[in-house]
Structure 1
Amino acid sequence: MRADKILPILAITFLSLGFGESCRHAMVRYPQSPPEACRIYPTSRECKRALDLRSAQAEQGGEVHKVQHTYYFFGLYPGNLVLDTSKYCADGPKSVHQYTSFWNGFWEQITLAIYSPQTVEIECYK
């Protein structure tokens, strides 16, 4: 086979394997603490009203924040990054989702995994 035919095939194979590798996801969902009215009397009318109000607000969805985390050397440095969700969500987080987006994977592949960014989405309770 000629070199002019092999080079495009190798390039397509490398890009397919490289970008296909970058589908890393980690998601954590947090339960919401009970309303104040339900802590003392869980069977009261006030508790039922507070739960109904909360379920109506939950359908609307909460605010979503995107945070970029920077890792180096195949994601080995820094070892652990602590994210304080109270800076983003006053009522606590509903979910935290860390993943490699297309552009994160692109930069990771271009730098040969020396620079490995990750995106973190924080969804808040309303």
Structure 2
Amino acid sequence: MHVDKRIIFLGIILLCLGLAQDCRHAMVRYPQAPPEACRVYPTSKECKRALDLRSAQAEQGGEIHKIQHTYYFFGLYPGNLVVDTSKYCADGPKSVHQYTTFWNGFWEQLTLAIYSPQTVEIECYK
């Protein structure tokens, strides 16, 4: 009878860990600034060429940077963490995605949400 309680307890813990993963997501997508040729004459041939070149490069995707953010007390402290995307992306960010990985959730559950890490993924324009 004593072994059954341990198995049930372990099952509940594993279920909580499994259900708590990948629950929190926040994503922002940024539009790309127009090419220099389009700023002066948006209907010019140079603008069309620059836009065609950009669309061909966009299919390849840009560089992706992963950053770990540390929060405490259920994610309440520190309130706001500001990321300077110009350090990572010279041509500007394409998207910023903040989420909880399996290991982030594991450590959060293990510390009873005193330590709440988050992963930030920044994708750059090419």
TM-score > 0.5, shorter chain as reference: yes
Matched length: 125
Q: Partner residue of 2:4? A: 5
**Normalised TM-score (structure 2):** 0.95
Could you report, residue by residue, the CA deviation over 1:67-118 in whole angstroms, capped at 9, with x for unpaired residues? 0000011101001001110100011000000000011111111111111100
Q: Partner residue of 1:85? A: 85
Could you report, residue by residue, the CA deviation over 1:44-87 in whole angstroms, capped at 9, with x for unpaired residues? 10000000000111111100000000001110100100111010
The aligned runs of 1:10-21 (5 Å cut-off) are 10-21=9-20
Superposed displacement of residue 39, structure 1: 1.0
Rounded Cα–Cα distance in structure 1 between residues aligned with 2:18 and 2:75: 16
The aligned runs of 1:1-126 (5 Å cut-off) are 2-23=1-22, 24-126=24-126
The percent of aligned pairs where both chains have the same amino acid is 78
Superposed displacement of residue 3, structure 1: 2.7
Kindly provide the amino acid, as one letter, of the partner of residue 12 in structure 2.
Answer: T
> Which runs of 5 or more residues in structure 1 are unaligned?
none
**Normalised TM-score (structure 1):** 0.95
Q: What's the secondary structure of 2:18's corresponding residue?
A: helix
Q: What's the secondary structure of 1:18's corresponding residue?
A: helix
Rounded Cα–Cα distance in structure 2 between residues aligned with 1:22 and 1:95: 22
> Which runs of 5 or more residues in structure 2 are unaligned?
none
CA contact (8 A) 1:65 1:123 kept: yes
Superposed displacement of residue 18, structure 1: 2.9
Rounded Cα–Cα distance in structure 1 between residues aligned with 2:12 and 2:120: 29
Q: What's the secondary structure of 1:118's corresponding residue?
A: strand
